[in-house]
Structure 1
Amino acid sequence: MSIEQQLIERLHTLNPTHLDVVNESSGHGGYYPGKESHFKVVIVSEQFAGLRLVQRHQQVYAAVGDLLSPSKIHALAIHAFVQDEWQGQDTSSPECAHAPKQ
């Protein structure tokens, strides 16, 4: 099972009403086809209700567990919302300074 599939499976434990997992590895230095090292997650769950941003991130980290290790996921951008917060949010990622040059 790919790292991306494992990440999706583990994040489903947070009962998301919306989940978007994007492999952004190709935009970072050292990329090669098939590399899975940099991800962005947009997750909407009522489990985040009443929690500060850092607490939401802690829940995501707990769900992801050992996937956040140097040999697996190097970077994880987290956008965690409750339903009434997430519409219209800009979740775009900045360019990496070490991105492969075109």
Structure 2
Amino acid sequence: MRTVDVIIQKLTESFAPQSLDVQDESHLHAGHAGSRAGGQTHYRVYIVSDAFKGKSRIERHRLINAALADELAGSVHALAIHASAPGEGGAA
């Protein structure tokens, strides 16, 4: 299974998002730190979920990082997170 599919699966199971977009941006980082042949190292996540209501940006990031702990400890070098609750600006 591709890393992007694992990320989508774990975030869906953890947060039941209203919207979720996971972009593999590895090609933008070729030759940079953490880049590997074959990519699957750099991702950007846009997620909207009720689970983020009343949570600070840091709390939201911590929740996502915890859900993806195995990937962040392994193949994923960088993860840009845009997390919001329904009705907040910056929704995906």
- TM-score, normalized by length of structure 1? 0.78
Question: Is 1:76 equivalent to 2:88 in the alignment?
Answer: no
TM-aligned CA deviation for residue 75 of structure 1: 0.2
The two structures, once aligned, show a CA RMSD in angstroms of 1.9
In structure 2, the residue matched to 1:7 is: 7
Question: Is 1:47 equivalent to 2:51 in the alignment?
Answer: yes
Letter in 1 for 2:23: V
From 52, 57, 66, the counterpart of 1:62: 66
Question: Is 1:18 equivalent to 2:22 in the alignment?
Answer: no
Name the SS of the counterpart of 2:70 in structure 1.
helix
Number of positions where the alignment pairs a residue of Structure 1 with one of Structure 2: 88
In structure 2, the residue matched to 1:95 is: none
- TM-score, normalized by length of structure 2? 0.86
* In structure 1, C-alpha distance between the alignment counterparts of 2:36 and 2:58, rounded to whole Å: 32
Identity of aligned residues (%): 38
Which moves more between the two structures, 24-33 or 43-52? Answer: 24-33
* In structure 2, C-alpha distance between the alignment counterparts of 1:54 and 1:46, rounded to whole Å: 16
Question: Is 1:36 equivalent to 2:40 in the alignment?
Answer: yes
* In structure 1, C-alpha distance between the alignment counterparts of 2:11 and 2:53, rounded to whole Å: 16
Contact 1:23 1:38 (C-alpha < 8 Å) held by counterparts: yes
Letter in 2 for 1:38: H
Structure 1 unaligned runs (5+)?
Answer: 92-102
* In structure 1, C-alpha distance between the alignment counterparts of 2:6 and 2:36, rounded to whole Å: 20
